[in-house]
Amino acid sequence: MSYPRVALIGLGLIASSMFWAMRRAGMQSHVTGYARSAETRDTARRIGLCDTVCDSVEEAVKDADLVVLAVPVGAMGAIAKTIAPFLKPGCTVTDVGSVKASVIEAVAPHLPEGVDFVPAHPMAGTEHSGPESGFSSLFDNRWCLIVPHGAREEATATLESFWQALGANTERMEVSHHDLVCAVVSHVPHLIAYTMVGVADDLRRVSDQEVIKFSAAGFRDFTRIAASDPTMWRDVFLTNKDAALEVLGRFTEELFALQRAIRTGDGDTLFDYFTHTRSIRRGILEAGQDTDAPDFGRIKKDD
Amino acid sequence: MSYPRVALIGLGLIASSMFWAMRRAGMQSHVTGYARSAETRDTARRIGLCDTVCDSVEEAVKDADLVVLAVPVGAMGAIAKTIAPFLKPGCTVTDVGSVKASVIEAVAPHLPEGVDFVPAHPMAGTEHSGPESGFSSLFDNRWCLIVPHGAREEATATLESFWQALGANTERMEVSHHDLVCAVVSHVPHLIAYTMVGVADDLRRVSDQEVIKFSAAGFRDFTRIAASDPTMWRDVFLTNKDAALEVLGRFTEELFALQRAIRTGDGDTLFDYFTHTRSIRRGILEAGQDTDAPDFGRIKKDD
């Protein structure tokens, strides 16, 4: 096996899913885990997450061949600084953050010579968080973007194989392109979902009870992604500011154009816009990135 | 049975699901159907949708005890005018439109004395449309809003029982409140989803291929609702203009506040906002309006 010893730093949805996926893949690696909160460490021990749950991050990374930073983006720099003196020479450090430029900036300067840093971003998740939210199939057929950052080719290729063994497809991407792509497909959609949920809650003329009761009409899909971990998402927006603001600027522009079409009764503009977006949905289905079942398979055709 | 003869005008997702749900409920009603397009009528005949598919709307409504207008909101007025002379005295006319004020304005003036008009809005749907998209469980545990409009109490109560037999919960609502609630939980979320999908397609620096490949990161949920029927949605925005613009105005205001927090690095504002929206999600789960399965049950916990 490529990594005899693996350290998972941060034991949330992603790290816990990685552990179960490693087990499912039959990897024999010894896995240590660390989380800042004693409660999380206790939970991890109780559910058998990791071979050893350590009470200090230094202990967790000692002798590890692969160190995975699975903490919110804003916490990566401090962790890197803390663990740097304890890293085994020749080991690989990776992360699972949703933003890459700022993680590289925060982490890379702390790492000693002879340690390979291979930033990675598994694009998978659910609206749940914490050590008990993980499951082994989270990464199946999802993408893990690899952003090589001066690491040796061998270290990069080994990490790619590791992620593929966990079920993911991998693709290498340049750092600033990564951050823009993610702003489009992930960060801004999340911000918009959060905003829509906030608006519904704020409109006093419509009661919370009504919003909840009638949510299946479209609103519901927004609430799922707006239920994701607040710390993680705060850090994403603070650290991918430029790309997020660029995409938000475009979004506002388009929204205003549609709003004007509504105000002026310009049905053709609305119809053309709505027709065009349908074709994008078709592309996603063809790429196998979603189910065609009505309502995501929530309800079943039974006749 | 309350309605010995039912006429379904328009044979899309909603009408076809009503037919299958009536059959599932064991209703003995004779059901006639009409669609403007000959192709849709042929499809309906081929799949056994309705007892009789008529080639004219006049024929379809003749002798019907319940006439269901299941066409786009913008087409309701013309249909009402056409069928008015052929309606059986004492029959009930209803619709399934997502907007109520403008449907009432368009339909009510055409209907003769002695015919009860009971506008209704089954809040259920999928991203699919057409006669083959219907299925009997579409309305199960969903809400059908009833907006009585001067109809006799008996006619309103009978329609409520009918929808309950199809699986829906019913609630009566005042017309302008209906249109505002729907702008919040349905219309504006759809517009925003359409916009986000349009933006992604428009950002030339990120290829369509990338958007599609990496869509599982959040974007995907927007594409589903942005794949809904363009004609239906165009009519919704043209006819629920005031409420849609009001909610959009609030949305833009909130979005700008979050955008400013990103620009100024105000993490506390972002964190508080994201934390608050989580609780709304919890309310929806408690109300049984969505599944708690990760990713809507698309992926399975298997460990």
pLDDT tens digits along A14-58: 999 999 999 999 999 999 999 999 999 999 999 999 999 999 999
**Cα–Cα dist B17/B43, whole Å:** 15
What tokens appear for B216 in the block? 């599982």
Give bridge partners of residue A92 from the DSSP assignment. A66, A116
CA distance B149 to B175: 8
> Are A208 and B297 an interchain contact pair (Cβ–Cβ within 8 Å)?
no
Residues of A in contact with B220 (CB under 8 A): 284, 289-290
Domains, chain B, in order of start with CATH, read 5-173 (3.40.50.720), 177-294 (1.10.3660.10)
Residue A85: CA count within 13 A, CB half-sphere: 3
Nearest CA in chain A to B240: A262
Q: How far is Cα A118 from Cα A139, in angstroms, rounded to an integer?
A: 18
Answer whether A289 sits within 8 Å of B263, measured CB to CB.
no
Which of B205, B215, B274 is opposite residue A230, by nearest beta carbon?
B274
First to last CA, chain B: 50
Residue from the list A124, A230, A296 with its beta carbon closest to the beta carbon of B278: A230
**How far apart are the C-alpha atoms of A27 and A3, rounded to whole Å?**
9
Q: Would the CB atoms of A294 and B259 count as touching at under 8 Å?
A: no
Collect all residues with Cβ–Cβ distance below 8 Å to B48 and sequence separation of at least 6. none
CA distance A254 to chain B (A): 6
Angle, CA B36 vertex, CA B117 and CA B142 arms, to 5°: 50
Arithmetic mean of pLDDT, A181-202: 88
What mean pLDDT is predicted for residues A180-194? 90
Length of chain A: 303
Q: Which of A156-165, A179-188, A220-229 is modeled with the greatest confidence?
A: A156-165
Categorise residue A10: left if φ over 0, alpha if ψ from -120 to 50, beta otherwise: left
For residue A223, the one-letter residue type is T
Is residue B180 within 8 A of residue A147, CB to CB? The reply is no
pLDDT at A285: 67
Q: Which chain A residue shows the shortest CA-CA distance from B303?
A: A135
Q: What confidence category does residue A225 fall into, taking pLDDT thresholds of 50, 70 and 90?
A: confident
**How high is the mean pLDDT of chain A?**
90
What pLDDT, in 10s, does the model give residues B66-87? 999 999 999 999 999 999 999 9
Please tell me which of the candidates A198, A221, A297 has its beta carbon nearest to residue B298. Answer: A297
Q: What angle do CA A177, A179, A185 make, to 5 degrees?
A: 100
> What is the token pair recorded at B186?
């349905």
Nearest to B189 by CA among B154, B150, B237, B145: B237
Cα angle B143-A262-A243, degrees, rounded to a multiple of 5: 90
Chain B contact set for A227 (CB, 8 A): 277-278, 281-282
Q: Is beta strand A120-123 parallel, antiparallel or unpaired with respect to A143-146?
A: antiparallel
CA distance B95 to B162: 13
Question: Which of residues B74 and B218 earns the better pLDDT score?
Answer: B74
Interchain proximity B274–A233, CB inside 8 Å? yes
Interchain CB distance below 8 Å, B212 and A283: yes
CA distance B87 to A18: 65
Which chain B residue shows the shortest CA-CA distance from A295? B126
| pLDDT the model gives residue B69 | 98
Question: Can you list the positions of beta strands (E) in chain A?
Answer: 5-9, 30-34, 52-53, 66-69, 92-95, 116-117, 120-123, 143-146, 169-172
8 A C-beta contact, residue B2 and residue B158 = yes
The model's pLDDT over A98-153, given as tens digits with 9 standing for 90+, comes to 999 999 999 999 999 999 999 999 998 887 889 999 999 999 999 999 998 889 99
Residue with tokens 């609502």: B173
User: Which candidate, A211, A209, A219, places its Cα nearest to that of B181?
Assistant: A211
Distance CA B274, CA A193 (A): 10
pLDDT tens figures, B50-60 = 999 999 999 99
Average pLDDT (B175-199) is 90
Q: How many Å apart are CA B172 and CA A91, to the nearest integer?
A: 65
* C-alpha–C-alpha distance, residues B154 and B104, integer Å: 19
- Residue B60 CA to residue B133 CA, distance in Å, equals 21
Q: For B212, list phi and psi in degrees, rounded to 5.
A: -70, -45
Q: How many pairs of residues across A and B have Cβ atoms under 8 Å apart?
A: 380
> Using the beta-carbon criterion (under 8 Å), do A281 and B23 form an inter-chain contact?
no
Cβ distance A195 to B247 less than 8 Å, yes or no, reads no
Backbone angles phi, psi at B122, to 5 degrees: -75, 115
Q: Kindly tell me the sign of the dihedral angle through the C-alpha atoms of A67, A69, A75, A76.
A: positive
Q: Nearest CA of chain A to the CA of B118: how many Å?
A: 20
The answer to whether the pTM exceeds 0.80 is yes
- ipTM of the complex, rounded to two decimals: 0.84
Q: Are B255 and A137 inside 8 Å of each other by CB?
A: no
Give the chain A residue whose CA is nearest to the CA of B21. Answer: A303
Cβ–Cβ of B222/A189 closer than 8 Å?
yes
Report the chain B residue with the minimal C-alpha distance to residue A240. B262
Contacts of A303 in chain B (CB under 8 A): 20, 23-24, 135-136
- Cβ separation of B280 and A213 shorter than 8 Å? no
Q: Give helix then strand counts, H and E, for chain A.
A: 13, 9
User: What confidence tens digit (pLDDT) does each residue in A252-265 have?
Assistant: 999 999 999 999 99
Q: Which of A79-88, A246-255, B193-202, B235-244 shows the lowest mean pLDDT across its residues?
A: B193-202
Q: Are B117 and B151 in contact (CB under 8 A)?
A: yes
Q: Are B190 and A218 in contact (CB under 8 A)?
A: yes
Q: Which residue has the tokens 């290729």?
A: A157
* Minimal CA separation from B291 to chain A, in Å: 7
Residue-wise pLDDT tens digits, B7-27: 999 999 999 999 999 999 999
Q: Residue B226 and residue A295: Cβ atoms within 8 Å?
A: no
What is the pLDDT averaged over residues A70-95?
A: 97
Q: Is B300 helix (H, G, I), strand (E, B) or coil?
A: coil
Question: Which range, A15-19, A146-150, B204-208, B218-222, is most confident?
Answer: A15-19
DSSP 3-state of A273:
helix
Distance CA B163, CA B46 (A): 26
CB atoms within 10 A of CB B145: 24
Contact present, B261 and B269 (Cβ < 8 Å) = yes
Query: Given this model, what pLDDT does residue B214 score?
Result: 83
Residues in B closer than 8 angstroms to A120, CB to CB, are none
Rounded CA-CA distance B148/B116 in Å is 9
Q: Is B234 in contact with A274 (Cβ distance < 8 A)?
A: yes
Say which of B74, B220, B277 has its CB closest to residue A197.
B277
* Identity of the residue in A180, A247, A294 whose CB atom sits nearest the CB atom of B199: A247
Confidence band of B126 (pLDDT split at 50, 70, 90):
confident
Q: Which residue of A has its CA nearest to B173?
A: A210
